[in-house]
A and B are shown apart, each in its own frame.
Chain A
Amino acid sequence: MTYFQLFLSFLQVGMFSIGGGYAAMPVIQSAVVTNHGWLTMNEFIDLITIAEMTPGPIAVNSATFVGIRIAGIPGALIATFGCILPSCFIVSFLAYIYYRYKSVSTMQSVLLSLRPAVVALIAAAGLSILKMVAFGGKLISISNTNWIGISIFVIAFFILRKLKWNPVLVMSLCGISGLVINLMLGNC
């Protein structure tokens, strides 16, 4: 019964969170905190923090986390399966439409107009992360500025643009520099 409830709840998360990431949060919250009481509100906030700090989509992270706490590893598998199942059907259908009608001129025109919008959305996602790095979610001001984070960003950007290093390598080096610089400056 618990398995079935887990499956159904995360099926809803997969079906009704449009726009990914933060759009999924309220849906997950209503499923696991409000409706079933599987997590307390504090545990839920911890879950979001962990989800942001670890790889992978928030929905998959939550499904695994909640699944394990409620019904062990099988619970995690069932909840994750539930949350990706709607995507499999809906996205396959969209892909079919896309490849079937890609060469129709109206479809071409729609796609040409979507591309600049997608670039803008990616830019906004990148800038919000940069803002988080620079000001840590506080007010934008000189005193709240994290100069170490900004320096790491500028150097990493330069290395990626001019030297074309592997992005995963650059990110790992950024992580290590963040730790080493802060330890050397005695910030912790």
Chain B
Amino acid sequence: MKIDGNNKYLLKLFLSTLYISTFTFGGGFVIITFMKKKFVDALHWIDENEMLDLAALAQSAPGAIAVNAAILVGWRISGFSGMIVAILGTIIPPMLVLSIISFFYAAFAKNIYVSLVLKGMQAGVAAVILDVVYELGSNIIKLRSIVYLLIMVCSFAATFIFKVNVIYIIIAAGFTGILLEICKQKQGGKA
């Protein structure tokens, strides 16, 4: 159910990505939580499972996760023009901010007031991400499947404790999915 590329959606898409990108401090997964809040919860353009799939795709491809996610969401909302609009919305804020900062960066990096505000905002970012995780995690637990629960717990341990490269975690989880399908088909064959 692709939404046609009319100007109203394009403008909304541009402003949404611009807004998300302006306020997203930190890495790619931060922007994905904000995109979920905007495009899934507020605008209902994408459903939650599809957003998680897009997040996995954004993570698996090379390049910045935020840009990859913008490309995917843009395509999904209104095709090629949507992609261009979403990319522009995502890269304009960091380009503007960095252009300004590059002229007086030393003073900015050492300013104590700036760093105190940013520290407070980091606490806020952590709260936003873990709020979304709480919701997504409960939905996984509600599936009442030992396998999916195990995937979640093992992936968490692998990345957080053992610092395994995320790309291997994605590959391992995908491979588990293929194995599950093979088992299911074998059981189906016997029955």
- Enumerate chain A interface residues (CB-CB to B < 8 A): 14-24, 46-47, 49-61, 64-65, 68-69, 73, 76, 80, 83-84, 86-88, 90-92, 94-95, 98, 102, 105-106, 109-130, 132-133, 149-150, 152-153, 156-157, 159-161, 167-168, 170-179, 181-183, 188
B148/A94 in contact, CB under 8 A: no
Check if B52 sits within 8 Å of A115, measured CB to CB. Answer: yes
Least distance between B8 CB and chain A CB atoms (Å): 22
Question: What residues of chain A lie closer than 8 Å to B29, measured between beta carbons?
Answer: 121-122, 125-126
Query: What's the Cα separation between A174 and B126 when bound, in Å?
Result: 11
- Nearest residue (CB) in A for B159 is A124
* Partner of B152 from A94, A117, A150 at Cβ < 8 Å: A117
Docked-complex contact A106 and B181, CB < 8 angstroms: yes
Which chain B residues lie closer than 8 Å to A83 at the CB level? Answer: 63-64
By the criterion CB–CB under 8 Å, are B62 and A50 in contact? Answer: no
> Are A55 and B25 neighbours in the complex by a CB distance under 8 Å?
yes
B133 A126 Cβ-Cβ under 8 A: yes
Shortest Cβ gap from A135 to chain B (Å): 12
Q: Is A126 a contact of B64 with CB atoms below 8 Å?
A: no
Which chain A residue shows the least CB distance to B48? A115
C-alpha spacing A117/B127, complex, angstroms: 20
Question: Per DSSP, are chain A's interface residues mostly helix, strand or loop, or mixed?
Answer: helix
Q: Are B95 and A120 in contact (CB under 8 A)?
A: no
Q: How far is the CA of A161 from the CA of B135 in the complex (A)?
A: 9
Label chain B's interface by main secondary structure: helix
Known A-B contacts A20-B28, A54-B101, A179-B113; A171 and B173 likewise in contact (beta carbons under 8 Å): no
CB neighbours (8 Å) of A19 from chain B are 59, 165-167
Inside 8 A of A129's CB, which chain B residues have their CB? 26, 30, 122, 125-126, 129
A130 touches B174 (CB 8 A): no
Contact of B45 with A by CB under 8 A? no
> B-side interface residues toward A, CB under 8 Å?
19, 21-30, 32-34, 37, 49, 52-53, 55-68, 71-72, 75-76, 83, 87, 90-91, 93-95, 97-99, 101-102, 105-106, 108-109, 112-134, 136-137, 140, 147-149, 151-156, 159-160, 165-167, 169-170, 172-174, 176-178, 180-181, 184
A126 contacts B130, C-beta separation under 8 Å: yes
B123–A174 contact, CB under 8 A?
yes
Q: Are A119 and B56 interface neighbours, CB within 8 A?
A: no
CA distance A183 to B117 in the complex (A): 11
A46 & B105 in contact (Cβ 8 Å cutoff) = yes
Beyond the given A105-B181, A106-B177, A122-B132, please list 4 additional residue pairs across the A-B interface where CB-CB is below 8 A: A60-B67, A92-B75, A126-B129, A149-B119
Contacts A69-B102, A178-B121 hold; do A115 and B160 have CB atoms under 8 A apart?
A: no
Which residues of B are found within 8 Å of A117, using beta-carbon distances? 56, 151-152, 155, 169-170, 172-173
Establish whether residues B178 and A110, one from each chain, have CB atoms under 8 Å apart when the complex forms. yes
A95 to B29, CA, bound (A): 19
16 contacts between A and B (CB under 8 A): A20-B28, A20-B59, A20-B63, A58-B64, A61-B94, A76-B99, A90-B63, A105-B181, A116-B149, A121-B155, A121-B166, A149-B120, A156-B123, A170-B128, A175-B120, A178-B116
Identify which of B34, B75, B120, B180 contacts A167 (C-beta below 8 A). Answer: B34
Query: Are the CB atoms of A64 and B27 closer together than 8 Å?
Result: no
Q: Are B66 and A167 in contact (CB under 8 A)?
A: no
Contact, CB under 8 Å: B27 / A171: no
- State whether A113 touches B151 (Cβ < 8 A): yes
Q: By the criterion CB–CB under 8 Å, are B167 and A115 in contact?
A: no
